Amino acid sequence: MDIDTTQGRADRARQSTAIERCIQAELKRYFSMLEGQPPADLYRLVMRQAEGALIRSVLEQCNGNQSRAAAWLGISRGTLRGKLAEQSDTQDHKP
C-alpha cells in the first residue's frame, strides 16, 4: 500500500464534514444564546431536530415517495411513518 494513500485517508478521517461543522457552529451559537445557563435535555433536542431535518430533506429529494425515502434512510417504511407521526405530534404540541 502506498504511504501517500494511507496518509491521505488518515487526513480525511481527521477532517470534519460539512454537516459536522454546521452542527458545531449551530451549537456554538445556541450556547452563546444561553449566556452561561446550562442547557436542558440537549441530546434529545439536537437529535430530534437533526432527525426531522434529515427526514424532510430526504422526502423532498424523493418527491414525497415514502418507500424510496425509507430505503435511502436505511429504515423500514413503517418506521419512517412512525417517525413522521411522532414529528407531527411534536409540532401539534408546540406552544
CATH number, domain of 94, equals: 1.10.10.60
Range of the domain at 77: 40-95
> Do 57 and 75 share a domain, yes or no?
yes
Is residue 53 domain-shared with residue 74, that is, in the same domain?
Answer: yes
Same domain, residue pair 53 and 69: yes
Give CA–CA dist 21/45, Å, rounded.
18
Report the candidate in 52, 47, 65 with the shortest Cα–Cα distance to residue 91: 52
Overall number of domains in the chain = 2
The reply to whether 10 and 44 lie within a common domain is no
Q: Which of 54, 22, 55, 16 has the alpha carbon at shortest distance from 30?
A: 22
* Count of residues in the chain: 95
Please give the model's pTM, rounded to 2 decimal places: 0.74
Together in a domain, 47 and 90: yes
Chunked into runs of 10 residues, the chain (95 residues) has average pLDDT values of 60 80 95 95 95 97 98 98 90 61
Residues 68 and 83 in one domain: yes
C-alpha cell at 55: 427526514
How many alpha carbons lie under 13 Å from residue 66 in its C-beta half-sphere? 10
Residues 58/71, Cβ–Cβ less than 8 Å: no
Pair (81, 61) in one structural domain: yes
51 and 31 belong to one structural domain: no
pLDDT of residue 93: 59
